[in-house]
């Protein structure tokens, strides 16, 4: 489990809004409603939560979910020491006590018996019962649960149960339009507008390969990484091969199709 707790920063984390997500999130926060962010990889979900935590002046606790994550990993456990046994809060319990925004990344990866722990926090009760100690922690104003997932992944039978889904307000995030994505890539990498525009245009063409079997299309993160390679001196075409094409697929046909698109861009 990856756990990050953000300190307070002077500058807001840079975030370019794509629609009404900032406003909707603020209303959810005021009402104590849990939020579900849906969107493809690298489209800005994590950055958005970091930005909102800063705007709302809340600490942020981030937990990356995986299929080994247990309820005890979230809530806490008794630890045995030479001088006895003591209780240690898990990250979820800590977030509730602190009135933090608790961000569970890729919630769909977590086992359903783990997800159920969130239920009493996401309805009118806003409580976290800790069975092992008998304590019930009441969530203070400010505590908010945020989860994210990428609906595009091939998940076999994995999905969230309706009883979980219907506890959240869902915000759909997608890739930004060209103008915004150029601004993001230029800001994040230090690349000039022309380079950012070239990469974003190429990225949008690569995204069209979804219809030809490319399961994961390039997110803004890959465009930023490619632009960073170019800014630090790698020739742009080589930067695209390494930063944009190679990470996306091992399928020789798809890789060739993507390299052709790169070559056509720089012909
Ligand atoms: N709207 C945006 N405003 C500012 N930066 C953005 C935005 N969208 C994407 N980025 C840039 O793209 C990078 C990737 O975004 P982020 O890590 O938030 O994606 P994500 O949706 O959380 O992806 P994943 O599902 O893989 O965790 C960010 O570090 C940032 O540089
Ligand atoms: Mg993320």
38: its two tokens: 């849906």
Which residue's alpha carbon is nearest to atom 9 within ligand 1? 44
All residues at 6 or more sequence positions from 75 whose CB lies less than 8 Å from its CB, including other chains: 89, 90, 92, 93, 117, 128, 130, 132
For ligand 1, residues with CB inside 6 Å are 14-16, 18, 39, 41-47, 150, 176, 184, 188, 220-221, 224
Chain Cα centroid distance, residue 226 = 20
User: How do residues 99-145 score in pLDDT, each as one tens digit?
Assistant: 999 999 988 888 888 999 999 999 889 999 999 999 999 999 999 99
pTM: 0.93
What is the CA(224)–ligand 1 centre distance, in A?
A: 9
User: How do residues 194-208 score in pLDDT, each as one tens digit?
Assistant: 999 999 999 999 999
Q: Can you tell me the distance from the alpha carbon of 43 to that of 33, in angstroms, rounded to the nearest whole number?
A: 23
Task: Pick the ligand that lies closest to the CA of residue 185.
Answer: 1
What is the CA(221)–ligand 1 centre distance, in A?
A: 6
| Per-residue pLDDT tens digits of the chain, which is 267 residues long | 444 444 556 789 999 999 999 999 999 999 999 999 999 999 999 999 999 999 999 999 999 999 899 999 999 999 998 999 999 999 999 999 999 999 999 888 888 889 999 999 998 899 999 999 999 999 999 999 999 988 876 554 567 888 888 899 999 999 999 999 999 999 999 999 999 999 999 999 999 998 888 888 999 999 999 999 999 999 999 999 999 999 999 999 999 999 999 999 998
């Amino acid at each position: 489990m990856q756990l990050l707790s953000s300190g307070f920063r002077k500058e807001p984390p840079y975030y370019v809004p794509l629609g009404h997500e900032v406003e909707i999130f603020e209303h959810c926060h005021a009402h104590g409603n849990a939020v579900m962010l849906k969107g493809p990889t690298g489209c800005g979900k994590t950055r958005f939560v970091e930005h909102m935590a800063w705007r709302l002046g809340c600490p942020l606790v981030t937990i990356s979910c995986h299929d080994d994550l247990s309820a005890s990993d979230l809530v806490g456990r008794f630890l045995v020491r030479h001088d006895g046994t003591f209780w240690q809060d898990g990250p979820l319990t800590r977030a509730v006590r602190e009135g933090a925004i608790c961000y569970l990344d890729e919630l769909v990866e977590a086992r359903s018996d783990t997800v159920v722990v969130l239920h009493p926090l996401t309805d009118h009760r806003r409580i976290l019962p800790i069975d092992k100690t008998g304590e019930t922690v009441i969530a203070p104003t400010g505590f908010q649960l945020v989860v994210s997932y990428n609906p595009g992944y091939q998940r076999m039978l994995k999905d969230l149960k309706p009883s979980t889904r219907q506890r959240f307000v869902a915000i759909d995030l997608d890739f930004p339009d060209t103008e915004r994505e150029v601004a993001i890539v230029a800001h994040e990498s230090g690349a000039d507008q022309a380079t950012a525009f070239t990469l974003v245009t190429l990225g949008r063409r690569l995204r069209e390969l979804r219809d030809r079997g490319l399961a994961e299309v390039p997110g803004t993160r890959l465009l930023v990484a490619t632009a960073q390679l170019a800014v630090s001196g790698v020739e742009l075409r080589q930067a695209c091969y390494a930063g944009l094409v190679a990470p996306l697929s091992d399928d020789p046909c798809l890789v060739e199709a993507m390299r052709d698109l790169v070559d056509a861009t720089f012909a």
